[in-house]
Amino acid sequence: MSNTLTRPLSLVAAIALAAIGQAAAAADLTPPAAAAAEAADVEALGPWQIRLRALGVITRDSGHVNGIDGSDLSYSDTVVPELDISYYFTDNIAAELILGTTYANIDAAGSIDALGKVGKTWLLPPTLTLQYHFTDFGAFKPYVGAGVNYTLFYNQSGKGAFSDLDVKNEFGAALQVGFDYMVDEHWGVNFDVKKLFLEPEWKVNLDGAPLSGKAKLDPWLIGTGITYRF
């Protein structure tokens, strides 16, 4: 082959090899760059989330006084503000702690209905749940959860002939279902339902005579509010 033909072919081969080398280098760099961009997006969003809700507390209205057949209890329902704090371990797994306080009026019912109002107690029911968040529905982000509740009863008082009301602090299980609808990356609206299984022991004095029993509260916590992810 003549030198006239060999030189152009050599030049073309050199240019082709250089182009292939540059393409390979670019291919090697693309995945880390994309991964870095994704990591930056996750880091910018952060693992924390807070919600502020209006919370309806709806009790089961059941219980009894030991030794009195047909005795029952009923309780008032309330609407209160509630704050919760969530931490995302992954996009799907999060833990949520809810904080709020409310009160319950306790009334005699069933065979002891004529006794009327038994008393009033305030309660603080911090509840910790572990949640699974579904991420395949765009801005609509449903979740389910389960966890534990510990309810503290305070500022307790009897009414009328009743005195020394004492509802015992109690652990209970919690189940949860809800969703966030995200308006943008950080802000959204929330709807949430929890069921607490809560049946504390209680005691009271009636004209000096001690009574005791179980208050089967088992409340539903139904809330709606705003979400902020950061």
CB burial class (10 A; 0-12, 13-18, 19+) of residue 130?
middle
Helix (H, G, I), strand (E, B) or coil at 101: coil
How many Cβ atoms are within 10 Å of 79's Cβ, its own excluded?
Answer: 13
Tokens of 78: 């309330």
3-state secondary structure 58-84: ECCCEEEECCCCCEEEEECCEEEEEEE
Amino acid identity for residue 136 in this structure: D
Q: Is pLDDT of 167 > 80?
A: yes
Cα–Cα distance measured from residue 63 to residue 143, given in angstroms and rounded to the nearest whole number: 32
Q: DSSP character for 166? A: E
pLDDT at 36: 47
44: confidence class by pLDDT, cuts 50, 70, 90: low
Q: Are 124 and 152 in contact (CB under 8 A)?
A: yes
Which tens digits make up the pLDDT trace of 62-118? Answer: 999 999 999 999 999 999 999 999 999 999 999 999 999 999 999 999 999 999 999
pTM attached to this predicted model: 0.79
What value does the mean pLDDT of the chain take?
87
Alpha-carbon distances of 194 from 34, 63, 128, rounded to whole Å:
40, 21, 11
Q: What is the pLDDT of residues 24-37, one digit of tens each?
A: 444 444 455 544 44
pLDDT bracket for residue 45 (50, 70, 90): confident
| 43 pLDDT more than 60 | no
The residue ranking higher by pLDDT, 40 or 129, is 129
What pLDDT is attached to residue 16? 41
